[in-house]
Amino acid sequence: MNDTKILIIGACGQIGSELTLKLREIYGTENVIASDIRKGEQDVFKTGPFEIVDAMNYEQVEALVNKYKVDEVYLMAALLSATAEKNPAFAWDLNMNSLFHVLNLAKDKKIKKIFWPSSIAVFGPTTPKQNTPQYTVMEPSTVYGISKQAGERWCEYYFNKYGVDVRSIRYPGLISWKTPPGGGTTDYAVDIYYKAVSDNNYTCFLSENTELPMMYMDDAIRATIGIMQAKAEDIKIRSAYNLAAMSFTPKEIAVAIAKEKSGFKISYEPDFRQAIADSWPSSIDDSAAANDWNWKPEYNLENMTKVMLENLSK
């Protein structure tokens, strides 16, 4: 396993940066090639190989795969929900073309395995909101959700038709103190901790009772590497797995923060992201991931809040 060569596309983003460091710990620095459209202010390009790549350019991606004899690709480049609504055409191009490039590289046997992230955004206003099942009505109403839903169908198609070993999970909102998120609807759940530490108050862009599925980044990274290391025959779902850890509202996260930081205050000024959040599930049934590849989260709102505040206060 230690000779496996891994390419991460979108390595400077919120998930990519932490994923790169973890994969380098497991597979060895030289075996994990980080790449992105530009260098971020990240450890990723100081701790191992780093290449500039445009995920939408097939020749550039193929050249990297050939140069490093890449076995596995983690395609983390994407425009998230809020940013995608501002530039739907570009979001569609980036999210879909980059996926086709790696799927086609695997179809042509140039790479062996792909990780591609999906999202709770594949669900829409007609989906059952509580404990949303793995298989259910899916009518996403955002361009991001539409691209993730279409991407899931293509992943399954390439697996069924060409035997491409592609694996995916539907991430909930992700929370980390290491790298800030960019352009998502769930970003408030990260911003709130930064503001709690700097100002002891926060104005939330979602309303107080908007309940969304969320996850601490360490759990998300464990899930990502877990599904990639699982035996191929255990991965029974080749579109994307539901994944869950906790669900809370802005009001509930504010209460959890106030327990650690007395006097913390929240106010609410919902903007265009409210409609996106209202179209998504409140909680997720992830029993298929638990059954098929032993997924189990470790963080809940309380222990995550302690870790977030502790680290951001340093």
Whose CB is nearest to ligand AKB? 184
Residue with tokens 């997924």: 295
Catalytic residue among 68, 74, 144, 188: 144
Integer Cα distance of 305 and 310 in angstroms: 8
Report residue 154 as tokens.
Answer: 């293509």
Identity of the residue, 64 or 244, whose beta carbon is nearer to ligand AKB in the bound complex:
244
The amino acid sitting at 296 is K
Identity of the residue, 163 or 182, whose beta carbon is nearer to ligand AKB in the bound complex:
182
Report residue 112 as tokens.
Answer: 């062996």
Identity of the residue, 27 or 144, whose beta carbon is nearer to ligand AKB in the bound complex:
144
Interface residues with ligand AKB (CB under 6 A)? 80-81, 119-121, 144, 171, 173-174, 184-186
Residue 193, φ and ψ in degrees, nearest 5: -70, -40
Give least dist CB 65 to ligand AKB, A. Answer: 26
Distance (Å) of CA 57 to CA 28, 100, 145, 157, 308 = 27, 11, 23, 22, 37
Distance (Å) of CA 262 to CA 200, 265, 313 = 9, 9, 14
Whether 223 and 140 have beta carbons less than 8 Å apart is answered as no
CA atoms within a 13 Å half-sphere pointing along the CA-CB vector of 4: 20
Active site residue 299: no
Give least dist CB 119 to ligand AKB, A. Answer: 3
Residue partners of 5: CB distance under 8 A and separation at least 6: 31, 33, 68, 69, 70, 71, 72
Angle, helix 188-199 to helix 250-260, in steps of 10 degrees = 30
**Active-site annotation, residues:** 144
